[in-house]
């Protein structure tokens, strides 16, 4: 917070009264007039020095951020999760143009949050209704709960390491070209182990093995065109979507060419009929299509009991689309990108002649200024650290000094002008006192060299950390025209990963990490700096040691690891769910930046027996 002249003078008066044994004296009239004049002069100069110091510090920080840190890295990061939906017809798809709304005044949940898919994903009018494993068969309710329909008679069990998935498929569908399945696990301590073996699973329908692949369908990872790749330096949406897709990819399996569904419909596997009694089987929908998923033998039935399997799933991120039409003026135009949330990305910029514009850097001398705009995220021009409200306050203080000097001249004309200025200053001061400054607004700066009439801008915003911790099972409302069935869209996982715009302190931490190693992690100090950048104040100590862990493969024994031991700061409250995401995301980013393939492991609060262990790019958390 900036210091003005009045606050500095008030502190000086209190200090002087204390030094001269004038208890409770804060009025300058109690002192000698020369003392009051000296204090006024000193307070004014100190306020100017403080202002220049803050301006210099801000300019230095912003310049370092511009040179060393990509612009996208300092922006707010969107929360993300996994959602599920059904198409209007038998087949359909979702893409990044879809908008889903969550909450809002009509639901009593405050300001609404918006989500959109991270890519193009196929949808089929089908859903997982039942699961069977071990000695029980369950029904899935609202993608959140399992209702046990019955247990096997006696000591009978289904085949080990086998999961039976009951699909409710529309009668109009005879074959499915692609169907995505997403897996969730209640036992977070075994999450890495399960997802590691999910890629080795085999899928069968009526005894015929199905073609499957790990991750998403090919269309979800479709590369951008040449034009998008050339202008992607300032467009963070595509990069963020790729990172989110990579984060969730190990949870997904895509099954292809599912044929002859008519003969499979209602065909309950013999292994299920043999071990469950008639009453239990009577509770099972006889219209389901059963798929058998075989895992490696090391996957226990108890672990499969904690598994949830869903169909028609896709990652989503907190992103709201905006359309803006701005009437251009001659020469310089400053266009505010106003929204209630943080600016996220520019989608498209065209003028009234349908000519496209791209975002360029201030130092990009080779860019064509006629077809480019500047993007400013921290005010415009000279405002910098002092936003418009503080600039107006400084202007008022300066005008007060100047009007007093003009009034001292004593001419009638000047006194009249000074009186009018004082009246206007009073009105301005009242308005400034009630101002609320929106520091999340970004701006486009352009010169209207072609004398166009208007500019059309499509951009997106994100709510940052406000969109975190939305519970699984929350319904999402489809906005606008869509081929998604109304009321069928909901979140399968809680939302995580939202972050507000970086503060100056967080930027300095990023400076240190960037200066040490750039975007690569080579030494132990590089890893420590990167962990501090990602975890912030949540950790107070980081240590790099050597360790030994059990391998996750069927034929793997003990393996050497590099342990990153994190000591959490108890003063910063962090939930177990947040730790799960932070550690999984951190380890994935470390694996993407290290120069070798040595296995890393994260350990949190080792002395407290709360460990978070991850190998081969995965992380998990086991609580006491």
Residues ≥6 apart with Cβ < 8 Å to 474: 102, 490, 491
Question: Is residue 372 within 8 Å of 449, Cβ to Cβ?
Answer: no
Choose between 375 and 385: higher pLDDT. 375
Choose between 224 and 279: higher pLDDT. 279
Percent of the chain with pLDDT over 70: 78
State the average pLDDT over residues 553-564.
Answer: 80
Distance CA 228, CA 256 (A): 30
Query: What is the pLDDT at residue 165?
Result: 94
> What is the three-state SS of 559-606?
EEEEEEEEEECCCCCCCHHHHHHHHHHHHHHHHHHECCCCCEEEEECH
pLDDT tens, position by position, 459-507: 999 999 999 989 998 999 999 888 899 999 999 999 999 988 877 777 7
Query: What is the pLDDT at residue 351?
Result: 87
With 80 as the cut, is the pLDDT of residue 355 above it?
yes
Structure tokens at 357: 């514009």
The pair phi, psi for residue 168, each rounded to 5°, is -100, 100
State the average pLDDT over residues 401-407.
Answer: 60
pLDDT tens, position by position, 444-460: 888 877 777 888 999 99
Q: Token pair 């100590």 is at which residue?
A: 541
pLDDT tens, position by position, 306-323: 999 999 999 999 999 999
Helix (H, G, I), strand (E, B) or coil at 557: coil
CA 474 from centroid of its chain's CA atoms: 18
Residues ≥6 apart with Cβ < 8 Å to 175: 257, 258, 259, 260, 261
Query: What is the pLDDT at residue 132?
Result: 94
Structure tokens at 395: 């202007």
State the average pLDDT over residues 509-520.
Answer: 72
Query: What is the pLDDT at residue 1?
Result: 47
Query: What is the pLDDT at residue 622?
Result: 33
Would you place residue 417 in the very low, low, confident or very high pLDDT band (cuts 50, 70, 90)? Answer: confident
62-66, 191-195, 591-595: the lowest-pLDDT one: 62-66
With 70 as the cut, is the pLDDT of residue 160 above it?
yes
Instruction: Give the best-scoring range by mean pLDDT among 118-132, 529-543, 549-563, 600-614.
Output: 118-132
With 70 as the cut, is the pLDDT of residue 620 above it?
no
- DSSP per-residue letters across 359-376: EE-TT-TTS-GGGEEEEE
Output the average pLDDT for the chain. 80
25-29, 408-412, 521-525, 609-613: the lowest-pLDDT one: 609-613
With 80 as the cut, is the pLDDT of residue 425 above it?
no
The pair phi, psi for residue 408, each rounded to 5°, is -70, -20
With 80 as the cut, is the pLDDT of residue 427 above it?
no
Q: Which residues in 249-272 are b (16+ Cβ under 10 Å) and which e?
A: ebbbbbbeebeebeebbeebbebb
Q: Which residues in 578-617 are b (16+ Cβ under 10 Å) and which e?
A: bbbbbbbbbbbbbbebbeeeebbbbbbbeeeebbbbbbeb
With 90 as the cut, is the pLDDT of residue 85 above it?
yes
- DSSP per-residue letters across 286-327: TT-EEEEEEPPTTS-HHHHHTEEEEESEEEEEE-EEEEEEEE
With 90 as the cut, is the pLDDT of residue 330 above it?
no
Distance CA 208, CA 63 (A): 62
State the average pLDDT over residues 412-437.
Answer: 68
pLDDT tens, position by position, 377-402: 654 544 444 455 566 666 666 666 66
Question: Is residue 153 within 8 Å of 277, Cβ to Cβ?
Answer: yes
Query: What is the pLDDT at residue 612?
Result: 45
- DSSP per-residue letters across 114-125: EEEESS-EEEES
Region of 227 please: left (phi>0), alpha (psi -120 to 50) or beta.
alpha
Question: Is residue 330 within 8 Å of 451, Cβ to Cβ?
Answer: yes
* 99-102 and 477-479 beta bridge pairing: antiparallel
> Which one-letter DSSP state was computed for residue 29?
G
Distance CA 375, CA 178 (A): 41
Would you place residue 337 in the very low, low, confident or very high pLDDT band (cuts 50, 70, 90)? Answer: confident
pLDDT tens, position by position, 91-133: 999 999 999 999 865 444 568 999 999 999 999 999 999 999 9
Would you place residue 304 in the very low, low, confident or very high pLDDT band (cuts 50, 70, 90)? Answer: very high
State the average pLDDT over residues 280-286.
Answer: 88
Partnered with residue 560 across adjacent β-strands are 548
């Amino acid at each position: 917070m900036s210091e003005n002249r009045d606050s500095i003078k008030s502190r000086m008066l209190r200090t002087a009264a204390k030094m001269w044994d004038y208890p409770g004296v804060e009025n300058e009239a109690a002192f000698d007039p020369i003392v009051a004049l000296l204090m006024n002069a000193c307070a004014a100069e100190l306020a100017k020095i403080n202002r220049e110091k803050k301006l210099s510090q801000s300019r230095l920080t912003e310049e370092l951020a511009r040179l060393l840190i990509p612009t996208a890295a300092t922006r707010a990061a969107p929360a993300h999760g996994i959602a599920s939906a059904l198409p209007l017809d038998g087949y359909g798809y979702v893409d990044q143009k879809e908008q889903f709304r969550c909450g809002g005044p009509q639901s009593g949940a405050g300001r609404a949050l918006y989500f959109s898919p991270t890519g193009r994903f196929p949808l089929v009018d089908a859903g997982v209704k039942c699961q069977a494993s071990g000695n029980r068969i369950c029904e899935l309710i609202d993608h959140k709960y399992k209702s046990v329909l019955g247990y096997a008679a006696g000591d009978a069990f289904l085949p080990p390491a086998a999961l039976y998935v009951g699909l409710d498929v529309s009668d109009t569908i005879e074959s499915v070209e692609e169907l995505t399945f997403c897996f969730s696990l209640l036992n977070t301590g075994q999450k890495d182990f399960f997802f590691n073996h999910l890629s080795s699973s085999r899928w069968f329908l009526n005894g015929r093995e199905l073609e499957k692949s790990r991750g998403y369908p090919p269309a979800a990872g479709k590369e951008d065109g040449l034009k998008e790749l050339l202008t992607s330096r300032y467009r963070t949406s595509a990069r963020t979507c790729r990172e989110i897709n990579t984060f969730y990819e190990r949870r997904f399996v895509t099954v292809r060419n599912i044929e002859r569904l008519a003969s499979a419909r209602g065909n309950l596997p013999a292994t299920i009929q043999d071990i469950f009694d008639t009453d239990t089987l009577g509770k099972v929908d006889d219209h389901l299509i059963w798929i058998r998923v075989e895992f490696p033998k090391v996957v226990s039935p108890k672990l499969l009991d904690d598994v949830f399997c869903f169909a028609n799933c896709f990652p989503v991120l907190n992103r709201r689309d905006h359309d803006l039409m701005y009437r251009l003026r001659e020469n310089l135009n400053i266009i505010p990108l106003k929204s209630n949330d943080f600016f996220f990305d520019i989608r498209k910029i065209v003028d009234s002649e349908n000519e496209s514009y791209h975002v360029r850097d201030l130092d990009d001398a080779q860019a064509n200024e006629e077809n480019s705009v500047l993007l400013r995220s921290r005010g415009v021009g000279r405002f910098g650290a002092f936003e418009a409200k503080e600039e107006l306050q400084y202007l008022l203080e300066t005008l007060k000094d100047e009007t007093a000097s003009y009034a001292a001249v004593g001419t009638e004309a000047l006194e009249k002008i000074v009186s009018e200025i004082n009246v206007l200053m009073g009105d301005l001061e009242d308005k400034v006192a009630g101002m609320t400054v929106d520091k999340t607004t970004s701006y486009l700066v352009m010169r209207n060299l072609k004398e166009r009439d208007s500019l059309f801008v499509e951009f997106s915003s994100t709510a940052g950390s406000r969109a975190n911790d939305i519970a699984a099972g929350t319904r999402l409302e489809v906005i606008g025209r869509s081929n998604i069935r109304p009321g069928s869209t909901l979140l399968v996982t809680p939302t995580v990963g939202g972050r507000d715009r970086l503060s100056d302190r967080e930027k300095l931490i990023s400076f240190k990490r960037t200066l040490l190693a750039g975007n690569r992690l080579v030494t132990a100090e590089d890893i420590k700096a990167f962990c501090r950048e990602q975890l912030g104040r949540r950790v107070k100590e980081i240590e790099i040691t050597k360790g030994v862990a059990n391998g996750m493969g069927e034929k793997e024994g003990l393996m050497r690891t590099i342990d990153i031991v994190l000591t959490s700061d108890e003063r910063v409250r962090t939930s177990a769910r947040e730790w799960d995401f932070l550690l999984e995301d951190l380890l994935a980013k470390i694996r993407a930046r290290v120069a070798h393939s040595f296995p890393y492991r994260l350990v949190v609060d080792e002395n407290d027996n709360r460990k978070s262990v991850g190998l081969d790019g995965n992380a998990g958390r086991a609580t006491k």
